Amino acid sequence: MKKRLIMILLLIGIISSLSAAIKPFVETEQGLIAVLFHTYQNGTSGTDFDFRSQGGQDVLYPFERYTVGVEIADVH
């Protein structure tokens, strides 16, 4: 019982001393992505099929990326 109380007090002390050094952050990235090169050849002497020009992949696709992190003592 005493060990648990000591551990809890120790953890509270550590957390309270680090609370000034802890900085949470959230970042987001948004943009567009495109297919630059995408071909397919059926067999060794088959014809090439270009998905970009013949298959309709010449469009831009939107993307989003979210990052959540914590910086502790100026290091994350």
Q: Which residue has the tokens 């005493």?
A: 2
Cβ neighbours for 19, distance < 8 A, ≥ 6 positions apart = none
Q: Please tell me the pTM assigned to this model.
A: 0.42
Tens of pLDDT along 53-69? 888 777 888 999 999 98
User: Where does the pLDDT of residue 6 fall: very low under 50, low under 70, confident under 90, or very high at 90 and above?
Assistant: confident
Tens of pLDDT along 17-39? 666 677 888 999 999 988 888 88
Length of the chain in terms of residues written: 76
Cβ neighbours for 62, distance < 8 A, ≥ 6 positions apart = 30, 31, 32, 33
Sign of CA dihedral 11, 15, 18, 24: positive
pLDDT given for residue 31 in this prediction: 93
